[in-house]
Structure 1
Amino acid sequence: MATTSPDRIVSLDLIRGFAVLGIFSVNIIGMSFMQGVYFQPILQGFDGLGDKVMYLANLILVDGKLRALFSMLFGASMLLVVDRAVAAGKAGWRVHYPRIFWLLVIGLAHYYILWWGDILSHYAMIGALAYLWWKRSVKVLFIWSAILLFIAYIAMPVSQAYGQYQQQQQQEAEAAEEAAAEAEAAAEATDGDAAATADPDAVVEAEPERRGPPPEVFEQAKAKHQTPMTHLQAQLSNNPFQPFMVSVFLLPETLGLMLLGMGLYRSGFLTGEESHATYRKWAIWGFGALALYSAAVAAWVVSGNYDFMYAGMARNALTPWTRALMAMGYAAILILWSRGGMNWLSTRIAAAGRMAFTNYLGMTLIMTPIMFGFGFGLFGELTRGTAWLYFVPAMWLAMLLFSKWWLDRYRYGPLEWVWRSLSRWQVQPMRKTASVAS
């Protein structure tokens, strides 16, 4: 039986809400530290047991998996909007592409002005392509999804491994040059006495064990985040094409996930129409078995002392193929949960899903003044574990409480209303005719 209300598919809202909440568990790292820390934990803020626990928990349960779930839900929601537009006698593309255009504008503003980790512009660009499949059958959607995900999960590890090898070679060369310069400076400072004791090769050999970026690199990153204007200038100067390059690089995976979501929506999987046994199997094998596999990969990373190579291999080669399957496992668990009846928590998670656009951007709007120089300036000052502990539970609670409260009074979330009004070139009605007390 589909979990629906008169104008909502509750299962989609619940799954989307879970995804947007979970994504903040990893996004907080990208907001708190240098960009590279998001991918390589030992670069910064990785000192204690709590830091390691949070890294491993995200690696096993969140990283890539909930982005996959969010991508699938984007495809399903896109298909839902287009289908409803066509049923109302409108051309699907006339509804879809204005939405995509404004999503791209908002996403690029998010990237250039506030935070490098924007995903909205990426979804807009890939969503523009996904529309080409909206009339396709479930079978065709699944075939194309499988082809694209196969390409992504075979090509990605190879390209990542090559890029990581190049990066390691560059780092070793830079370390050698830095060590030689330090040895030369020491020799000159002591009039040659230090030259007899300095061993440049030993310095170079010890360099890979460094647990943090060079001070000047961190200061450059911190200066970039002093104000939205300095962030804009830095992005335009250093990474002006990053949103577009990311979309090219991630196109096979994201398009494959969107098509998978479209197929799962059309087949009834995401709307709760499959059998209880089907969802139970996906919960056990899609989530449970692959979570155990991911835990084994995490143990391997621990055995390698969280080294760059181990962390990079885990994220880019050993776990990507689990993302779509674990995302389906998560969806199955949430649908099984909703079948027992919506309770206080699930109702509020679903409300957070209805306001996913507002909640996603709200994370940045709240966290950037806290982390960056125009606010409390905590950028790089915390550890991975403390950043998570201080902000993630509080943000989750805020989203759960605020989303339900708002939607009891208004038709759409604040930014959903803006997006809808821009897409339709007309201010949409906002307040409900009769407010309901929360």
Structure 2
Amino acid sequence: MNIVGFAWPEIVYLSPRAPGGPVPNLPDDILFSAQFVLVDGKFRGLFTLLFGASLLLFVERADARGEGGITLQLRRLSFLALFGLAHFFLLWWGDILFLYAVCGFAVLGMIDWEARTLIRRALIIYAVGTAWLLASNLPAALPWFLPGVEGHQATQRLVEQFDRAAQAETALALGPWTTRLADSVFNHWQQPLVTVANYALETIPLMMFGMALLKDGFFAGAWDTARYRRWAWRGIAGGLVLTLPLAWWQWREEFALQVVFLVGLALALPGRLAMTLGFAALLVPLARSAPASWLGERIIAAGRMAFSNYIGTSLAMAFIFQGWGLAYFARYTRVELLGFVVLGWLLMLAWSRPWLERYRQGPLEWLWRSLVRRRREPFRR
């Protein structure tokens, strides 16, 4: 999903017909709709589940060693927030680390709750967050439904507003890195806080689900196969039932900005939650056999270096698309950008395992761990 955010103005992420984006074409429309149904928010949701589980796992293991798990985790999240801010200001507007750090602080006070309590309260928070996002985005969408001249004029003003913003963003991306940095510092310094405001009530409950599932043995493969299958079937089927009508509505309305805002930022959330949990239940049993295959070993190595691969991807894609590098910004259609996605996958799979054969951790994982523990951690094997 993020490749569009690297290669085009931010608004293009939300609609294949966005101003300042590629010339509208049928393959891009199909790809956007397929990603909306199957990918958008779901894979970020999977990562959020794992992040929540890792918060609890880290504290438990540190406590077992007598190191004070909560204290270490607070320090760990603080440095993660700093890494996230550096990522945002220096490389890319789409940082997610700062959001995860802030939400991690909130979730840390819940690690002693029972699994059932976590799930019940997570559902309540998720429902409140969905309602709040719906209420926040509905006023901007209403002009689309107004008949006659008034609705048309409001829509035209919105398109012109985002067209100007897209042109400015394109100029920044293709200009000097220092100009982009200055714009982030002086004009968009509040963006990480806006991201927290928009996504915290989705992120926090997903982290709570992750902790609950860890407590229940879900990630350890402790459930029987039939139970995983039931969760997978119900989650994926339920998510499709909730999401496919929204995909059809966006297509019918030719991906109008008001519609995609309302759908992507609010109405799609229930389907995302269901499908995220369904995908998780599908993937956990499959992970049991991963170490037995060449590709599985490569994926495991890439996962152990998730932090380095995340920032490394941003660095590679910034070099490809921004003006200080190859300056390929705003050139390729959505379908054509899949080539860069495959390139990113191949790079991660190619370097992660050889690196871990020589070193204990990825470079950023090692730096993060050393900062948290206030000592130089072992690096070479």
Q: Tell me whether the two structures share a fold, i.e. TM-score over 0.5.
A: yes
- Counterparts of 1:304 and 1:245, CA distance in 2: 28
Paired residues of 1:146 and 1:256 also in contact (CA < 8 A): yes
Change over 3 Å in CA distance of 1:208–1:365 after alignment to 2: same
Q: Deviation at 1:80? A: 0.5
Map of 1:42 onto structure 2 = 17
- Counterparts of 1:357 and 1:59, CA distance in 2: 25
Map of 1:116 onto structure 2 = 93
| 1:95 aligned onto 2:72 | yes
Kindly report which structure 2 residues correspond to 1:38-437, keeping only aligned pairs within 5 A, or say none: 38-43=13-18, 44-165=21-142, 207=156, 214=163, 217-225=165-173, 226-291=175-240, 293-340=242-289, 342=291, 343-387=293-337, 389-432=338-381
3-state DSSP class of the match of 2:202? helix
Range moving further from structure 2, 329-338 or 343-352 = 343-352
Paired residues of 2:83 and 2:98 also in contact (CA < 8 A): yes
Could you tell me which runs of 5 or more consecutive residues in structure 2 were left unpaired when the two chains were aligned.
none
Q: Supply the AA of the counterpart residue of 1:317.
A: A
Q: Supply the AA of the counterpart residue of 2:277.
A: M
3-state DSSP class of the match of 1:408? helix
- Counterparts of 1:274 and 1:312, CA distance in 2: 38
Could you tell me which runs of 5 or more consecutive residues in structure 1 were left unpaired when the two chains were aligned.
1-25, 177-200, 433-438
Change over 3 Å in CA distance of 1:220–1:93 after alignment to 2: same
Give CA deviations for 1:56-100 in whole Å, capped at 9, x if unaligned.
121011111111111111110111100001111121222101111
Change over 3 Å in CA distance of 1:46–1:318 after alignment to 2: farther
Change over 3 Å in CA distance of 1:363–1:166 after alignment to 2: farther
Q: Supply the AA of the counterpart residue of 1:326.
A: M
- Counterparts of 1:116 and 1:63, CA distance in 2: 18
Aligned-residue RMSD, C-alpha: 2.6
- Counterparts of 2:327 and 2:154, CA distance in 1: 35
Q: Calculate the TM-score normalised by the size of structure 1.
A: 0.79
- Counterparts of 1:90 and 1:397, CA distance in 2: 38
Give CA deviations for 1:17-49 in whole Å, capped at 9, x if unaligned.
xxxxxxxxx111111111111123311115222
Change over 3 Å in CA distance of 1:427–1:234 after alignment to 2: same
Q: Deviation at 1:266? A: 0.8
Highest relative contact order (Cα 8 Å, sep 6+), 1 or 2?
1
Which entry has the higher C-alpha Rg, 1 or 2?
1
- Percent identity, aligned pairs only, is 34
Q: Deviation at 1:292? A: 5.1
- Counterparts of 1:217 and 1:129, CA distance in 2: 34
Paired residues of 1:69 and 1:324 also in contact (CA < 8 A): no
Q: Supply the AA of the counterpart residue of 2:336.
A: T
Q: Deviation at 1:213? A: 5.6
Runs of 4+ residues deviating >3 angstroms: 163-169, 204-214, 216-219, 339-342
- Counterparts of 1:67 and 1:258, CA distance in 2: 11
- Counterparts of 2:139 and 2:11, CA distance in 1: 17
Give CA deviations for 1:309-341 in whole Å, capped at 9, x if unaligned.
332233133321122221111111112213345
- Counterparts of 1:239 and 1:97, CA distance in 2: 27
Q: Calculate the TM-score normalised by the size of structure 2.
A: 0.91
Q: Deviation at 1:306? A: 1.8
- Counterparts of 2:58 and 2:14, CA distance in 1: 35
3-state DSSP class of the match of 1:327? helix
- Counterparts of 1:166 and 1:72, CA distance in 2: 37
Give CA deviations for 1:178-222 in whole Å, capped at 9, x if unaligned.
xxxxxxxxxxxxxxxxxxxxxxx9xx69958979964x5444212
3-state DSSP class of the match of 2:358? coil
Q: Supply the AA of the counterpart residue of 2:170.
A: K
Q: Supply the AA of the counterpart residue of 2:98.
A: S
